[in-house]
Amino acid sequence: MGFAEILGHDRVKAILSAALRHGRLPPALLLSGPEGVGKKALALVAARALVCQRADGDACDQCGRCTRALRGLHPDVVLVEPDGATIKIDQVRDVAREIGSRPFEARARGFVIDEAHLLTEQAANALLKCLEEPCTTSHVLLVSAAPQALLPTIRSRCQTLRLGSLPPALLAEHLETRHGLSHDEARLRAVLSGGSLGAALAFEPEAYRGLRDGLLALLEALPRQGPLERMEAAERLADVEDLALALTALRTLLRDVTALAAGAADAVALNADVVPRLRALASGPLGREAGGLAAAVGETREALRTNANPRLSMDVLLDTLAAPATA
């Protein structure tokens, strides 16, 4: 897999390829961005490109060096991954000795440290010593979805390339053409995954639909519920195992209601299998306010990421969702 086979991130791929082609890859590079968007894959391609016999700014994955690196057998391409919940001091000590040495057979060496934010304090300090006095032929590529958890001194010694979420349209097309998903399933996964290919591939459709149908029933029942019933519903919602996914699903339902209320065709709906129920909601009081309510759901989801109280947040949210019916 060369850069061309990695989905999206054209700007980052171009930067890496040019740096590799001209021998200007930094001694320490931090690839940061959301989970599942291809950070590790990009780092590994860059590491293989350092040893590739073609030396053209990419990994050909056909020469002897590339094929050995793909199998984890090339001594100049080293991958460090968490051992359990952390990356331990012994792992970094072993790698530190290698970082300070010359390549075995290639022109340079690539060391990929995946989930670098899981370095223990001792391991991070050991790595810092390597970065303070880098070997000119060794390149350390840190991969992290939480770069703020790295030591500031480590971050300051790295050049950073930030990867964003994959565009939903690009992700949906990839899921449909490369993984054989139906058009509707691909669109739904692309939106619910937040632009993460990893999350889209790990998506469990049956579990989602069970969750989604419960939320749809909640929207249908809200106009008939009093304050006590809404409070009980809020408690049940707050106890959902994956509350972030539940709120994302709720937002997609409200997004569909908004579109249908505005006269959109059924094919526009992400939740295509429940369009009749969505149209019924769109024709009622909810249809006029669904767009603003979808935004409120998004704000609640963001608030929970900063440690807002789940039960209180759900209480407020359900009162907000019920407001159109009681106005």
Class of domain 204-326 (CATH, top level): mainly alpha
Percent of the chain with pLDDT strictly greater than 90? 77
* pLDDT at site 272: 87
- Average pLDDT value over all residues in the chain: 92
3-162 and 204-326 agree in CATH topology: no
* pLDDT at site 256: 93
* pLDDT at site 21: 94
Angle at the Cα of 202 (from 271 to 77), degrees rounded to 5? 145
pLDDT at 327 over 60: no
Q: How far is the C-alpha of 236 from the C-alpha of 253, rounded, in Å?
A: 19
Find out whether 102 and 137 touch, Cβ atoms under 8 Å: yes
pLDDT at 38 over 70: yes
Express each pLDDT in 98-145 by its tens digit: 998 899 999 999 999 999 999 999 999 999 988 988 788 999 999 999
Say what the pTM is.
0.81
* pLDDT at site 255: 93
Q: Count Cα neighbours of 130 within 13 Å in the Cβ-side half-sphere.
A: 25
State the pLDDT confidence band at 326, using cuts at 50, 70 and 90. Answer: low
Average pLDDT of the residues in 255-270: 92
* pLDDT at site 307: 83
pLDDT at 42 over 90: yes
State the pLDDT confidence band at 179, using cuts at 50, 70 and 90. Answer: very high
Q: Which of 274, 321, 261 is nearest to 293 (CA)?
A: 321
DSSP string, 114-160: TTGGGB-HHHHHHHHHHHHS--TTEEEEEEES-GGGS-HHHHHTSEE
Structural domain boundaries in the chain: 3-162, 204-326
The yes/no answer on whether domain 3-162 falls in CATH 3.40.50.300 is: yes
